[in-house]
Amino acid sequence: MKHVKSKTQRDKLLIEALVWRYGPISRADIHELTHLQRSNISRLVKQLLAEGRILPAGRADNPMGRKQLLLRLNEEQGFVLAVGFDDEQVLAATMDLHLSARSTVARPAALDKGESGFISQLLSCAREALREAGVGAKSLVGIGVAGSGLVNTREGLLVMSTTVEFLREVPLREIFEKEFGVPTAIENLTRAKTVAERALGAGSMARDMIYVEYGRTGIGAGIVLDGRLFYGSGYMAGEFGHPHIIEDGPACKCGSFGCLAQPGADGRQGGACRGLAGADELRRVLEVVVGETLHVGLQNEVRGRRPLRRQPCHPPATATIFIVAP
């Protein structure tokens, strides 16, 4: 909440987030979750109702006392624009505040026009998604942009793309905020999917979880520790596609041999993974690699160095691991 300027604003956003997550929800439930003063909750709820940011949702079926008013989010009070891309496709979607898509635009990635042409395509698809949803930029509460590659989230910078070679040091946040005048978050695709899995999917708001994905564009992970994304030094946490796992394996584009994410015979990334015998063996290898990554491997690889030695270990006992494969 770095843009919050007062305690009142912070508390209103907190209540709104709880209504989004747990609604329909009563003021009594909000008190139990936040321990804010009841009088303060009532005052802020009245303000949110008057502003149309939350709506009544009937009465609770509580066995004793007055039936409590239930609250739900007004999903049409604002909208979110999402843009994702790799070397094959640009995808843009306009969503309401319950993250239900109101429009979706998908276009083949225009790689023949260089960086400026590709950025123009991202903006064009975003505008088209808004137009199809009948939503103006002033109705947006935020924009999320995700691409394959190394992303400096704090600076809103795509440092380098792993699939679109001419995208380097691209200030995507600055570009989108200048175009639409809306706060914009930049993330890489795997970490964006990690957040989605945790909030809306099987992650179920786990405090500690690891989302592992491998396929055409490589292999990587999103790591959540104590409820927060873990970035590591240089935003490299989870970029563990290059430990040496196959003796005398073929050359990898990183300069080493036998890497986990090295291209297979078809030129696609993750060839070493696909060479494993079945899903059980794949999961076993990935869990070992993830465990090492969280231990000695991570401490070395996030700094761009090859580990001098590796020690077998395991992820936190409470961590949930999700492996997504093609």
Most confident of 246-250, 292-296, 301-305: 246-250
Would residue 282 count as lying in a domain?
Answer: yes
Q: Is the pLDDT of residue 313 over 50?
A: no
In the prediction, which pLDDT does 215 show? 67
**How far is Cα of residue 98 from the mean position of the Cα atoms in its chain?**
16
Would residue 150 count as lying in a domain?
Answer: yes
Would residue 198 count as lying in a domain?
Answer: no
Would residue 298 count as lying in a domain?
Answer: yes
Distance CA 193, CA 223 (A): 11
Percent of the chain with pLDDT over 90: 41
Please report, for the domain that includes residue 127, its CATH number.
Answer: 3.30.420.40
Over residues 39-65, the mean pLDDT reads 88
The string of DSSP codes covering 94-152 is EEETT--EEEEEEEE--GGGHHHHHHHHHHHHHHHHHHHHT--GGGEEEEEEEESEEEE
Both 63 and 95 in one domain: the answer is: no
Would residue 85 count as lying in a domain?
Answer: yes
Both 29 and 48 in one domain: the answer is: yes
Both 211 and 319 in one domain: the answer is: yes
In the prediction, which pLDDT does 44 show? 95
Would residue 1 count as lying in a domain?
Answer: no
**Position with higher pLDDT, 209 vs 304:** 209
Percent of the chain with pLDDT over 70: 71
Both 89 and 159 in one domain: the answer is: yes
Both 140 and 187 in one domain: the answer is: yes
The contacts of residue 281 (CB under 8 Å, 6+ apart) are: none
In the prediction, which pLDDT does 75 show? 83
Q: Is the pLDDT of residue 300 over 60?
A: no
List the single range of 34-43, 154-163, 277-286 with lowest mean pLDDT.
Answer: 277-286
C-beta neighbour count of 64 within 10 angstroms = 4
In the prediction, which pLDDT does 294 show? 46
In the prediction, which pLDDT does 254 show? 60
Both 182 and 243 in one domain: the answer is: no
Across the chain, what does the average pLDDT equal?
79
Q: How far apart are the first and last CA of the chain?
A: 36
Please report, for the domain that includes residue 17, its CATH number.
Answer: 1.10.10.10
Both 84 and 118 in one domain: the answer is: yes
Both 161 and 214 in one domain: the answer is: no
Query: Given 36, 55, 73, which residue is the final one in a domain?
Result: 73
Structure tokens at 224: 């959540």
**Position with higher pLDDT, 227 vs 313:** 227
In the prediction, which pLDDT does 321 show? 54
- The domain total for the chain is 3
Distance CA 321, CA 206 (A): 10
Please report, for the domain that includes residue 295, its CATH number.
Answer: 3.30.420
Would residue 139 count as lying in a domain?
Answer: yes
Both 172 and 114 in one domain: the answer is: yes
Would residue 2 count as lying in a domain?
Answer: no
Both 93 and 150 in one domain: the answer is: yes
Closest C-alpha to 48, from 81, 22, 19: 19
Amino acid at position 228, single letter: R
Domain of residue 294, residue span: 204-324
Contact 290, 284 (CB under 8 A): no
Query: Given 140, 157, 192, which residue is the final one in a domain?
Result: 192
Query: Given 166, 192, 218, which residue is the final one in a domain?
Result: 192
In the prediction, which pLDDT does 142 show? 92
Whether the full predicted model's pTM is greater than 0.85, yes or no, is: no
Closest C-alpha to 241, from 130, 163, 187: 163
Both 22 and 41 in one domain: the answer is: yes
Over residues 21-39, the mean pLDDT reads 91
Structure tokens at 144: 């999320």
> pLDDT grade, residue 244 (50/70/90)?
low
Both 61 and 87 in one domain: the answer is: no
